């Protein structure tokens, strides 16, 4: 069996990953157990990578940008965190979280 079970059902693990990723992207730093952090790391990195791909498509491929935006929104289910990730709304001046990682691999 692949992945960590964390003594939870599949739906509980999914909710746990979403909640920890939302907290991490909202506050920038969280306190959790090592096992939960390892499980959430790949989930959060994939979300940031999808947001980076969306930002690269923002000016040239509007449907591609919207697709990436909706993918991230369906994964996180928190519109405010997604706006912060993409640098929209009140985070327009700062550029958002994904903008910070544009020059990094992954």
Task: Give mean pLDDT in consecutive 10-residue pieces for the chain, a chain of 106 residues.
Answer: 85 97 96 96 96 95 97 97 94 88 87
Burial class (CB in 10 A: 0-12, 13-18, 19+), 98: buried
105 occurs within a structural domain: no
89 occurs within a structural domain: yes
78 occurs within a structural domain: yes
Of residues 66, 73, 76, 11, the one with CA closest to residue 43 = 76
65 occurs within a structural domain: yes
The count of structural domains within the chain is 1
42 occurs within a structural domain: yes
pLDDT value of position 43: 96
DSSP percent split of the chain into helix, strand, coil, nearest 5: 70, 0, 30
* CA 79 to chain CA centroid, nearest Å: 11
pLDDT value of position 92: 87
66 occurs within a structural domain: yes
Instruction: Domain of residue 92: give its range.
Output: 10-100
CATH code of the domain covering residue 54:
3.90.1030.10
User: Scanning the structure block, which residue is given the tokens 């599949």?
Assistant: 10
Question: For the whole model, what pTM was predicted?
Answer: 0.91
4 occurs within a structural domain: no
**No. of H helices and E strands in the chain?**
5, 0
| CB within 8 Å of 24: residues ≥ 6 apart | 30, 40, 44
Contact 76, 47 (CB under 8 A): yes
């Amino acid at each position: 069996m692949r992945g960590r079970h964390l003594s939870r059902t599949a739906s509980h693990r999914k909710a746990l990953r979403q909640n920890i990723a939302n907290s991490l992207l909202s506050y920038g730093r969280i306190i959790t157990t090592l096992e939960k952090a390892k499980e959430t790391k790949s989930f959060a990195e994939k979300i940031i990578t999808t947001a980076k791909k969306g930002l690269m498509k923002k000016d040239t491929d509007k449907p591609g940008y919207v697709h990436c935006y909706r993918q991230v929104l369906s994964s996180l289910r928190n519109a405010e965190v997604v706006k912060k990730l993409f640098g929209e709304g009140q985070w327009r001046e700062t550029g958002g979280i994904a903008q910070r990682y544009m020059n990094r691999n992954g």
